[in-house]
Amino acid sequence: MNMRAAIVITLANHHIHYCKALIASINYFNPLFLIIVLKDGDFDTRFLEEFENVNIVSAREVNKLHHLNLDGLLNKLNLFFLPEFGFEFDFYIHFDADSILTHTINLEMFNDNCDFYILQGGTINPSDDAAMNNMAKYAFRPADFPEYRFSTSHLYFFSASHIVLNRSMFPILIEMVRTHRYELNKVFLNDKRIKFNDQGFLNLAINLLLFEKRITVKLFDCGIYGRDNPHDNPLLNLENVISKKETNVYFIHYTASSRRVLIEDHQYADILHFFLMLFYKNRKLDYYISEFIRLIKFYYNWFIKRVKARLKLWGILHST
């Protein structure tokens, strides 16, 4: 089966340095993939222009099409509308920008032509209270949706950061976005039935549609988090990554708890640094200048936030 697939990256301003490493890692392992960057916000992306296989799509332009106000932490849902911008593929492989690829993606993984593939997650038993409470915190609670029915034997609970979608299910997902848009937050405010933004929505949609037998789902739990202990993944080392040997890990996801200001303070820092240098084609001066500017911006923004917080506290204290 001759399938066409593209990799989609959702990018916000504060993940640019990770995105550089991600794009370098994709081109290292899968140079033939087209990469679509869904850019959320007004920031400079000229650093991507030299890559012929990278296309940038503004979330603002996509929102002009559907008028659903899907930006911020809902930007990922704009992926469903990419065919209308000429990006027509059989499968769309989504990666959050704060990730790096550590293994070749083989399209044979998707030969069974399922509708949805989970790359980071698993199944939980609805009778497991601890697991269900965790799902309720980071996705949704089935009992909060009396209008729907879900499996009583198992549910999928997954990160929405790394998924593969068959284009055939986009109309169904768009329909569900329109239905539930009023209870989707663009910021980290979990005051509605759907928690954690696009992650909660996708967990809800996939479990519902699967129970209704409208889609098929397959699980490939093939990634790790940046906070994971390297001793648990002995094959994941720089030597194996460079030589493209088996690592048993397809990607590293640097979520908030594993991000560090300095590159060298990350877990698997040598791999992250390798791909950043590859992005700059080993032009060390360009890399160090970029890092210097990034650190200045980071500490400037940190300082401004501290000042604003102090001024706000000072205002509150003097108004009482």
| Interval 52-85: pLDDT, tens | 999 999 999 999 999 999 999 999 999 999 999 9
Let me know whether 269 and 299 are in one domain.
Answer: no
Does the residue 34 lie in any domain?
Answer: yes
% of the chain with per-residue pLDDT over 70: 98
Residues 271 and 158 placed together within one structural domain of the fold: yes
pLDDT at 240 over 80: yes
Are 257 and 164 in the same domain? Answer: yes
CA distance linking residue 23 with residue 2, whole number of Å: 24
For residues 258-268, average pLDDT: 92
* 248/189: higher pLDDT: 248
Tally the domains of the chain. 2
For the chain, give the percent of residues with pLDDT over 90: 77
- Are 47 and 145 in a shared domain? yes
Per-residue pLDDT at 309: 84
69 and 112 fall within a common domain: yes
User: Where does the pLDDT of residue 314 fall: very low under 50, low under 70, confident under 90, or very high at 90 and above?
Assistant: confident
β-strand 251-253 against 5-12: which pairing, if any? unpaired
CATH number at residue 236: 3.90.550.10
Indicate the pTM of the whole model: 0.93
Q: Quote the pLDDT of residue 298.
A: 87
State the pLDDT confidence band at 320, using cuts at 50, 70 and 90. Answer: low
Assess whether pLDDT exceeds 60 at residue 1.
no
Whether pLDDT at 221 is above 90: yes
pLDDT(318) > 80:
no
Q: For tokens 């550590």, what's the residue?
A: 102
**Residue 285 resides in a domain:** no
Are both 253 and 319 inside the same structural domain?
Answer: no
Residue with tokens 């008028």: 67
Whether residue 287 is contained in a domain is answered as no
Q: Is the pLDDT of residue 235 over 90?
A: yes
308 vs 252, more confident: 252
Let me know if 293 is exposed, middle or buried by CB neighbors in 10 A (0-12, 13-18, 19+).
Answer: exposed
Question: What mean pLDDT is reported for the chain?
Answer: 93
Model pLDDT, residue 190: 80
In tens, the pLDDT along 74-126 reads: 999 999 999 999 999 999 999 999 999 999 999 888 888 899 999 999 999 99
Band of residue 191 on the pLDDT scale cut at 50, 70, 90: confident
Residues 168 and 300 in one domain: no
The residue segments making up the domain with residue 82 are 5-279
Q: What b/e string do you get for 225-261 counting C-beta neighbours within 10 Å, with b at 16 or more?
A: bbebeeeebeebbeebbeeeeebebbbbbbeeebeee
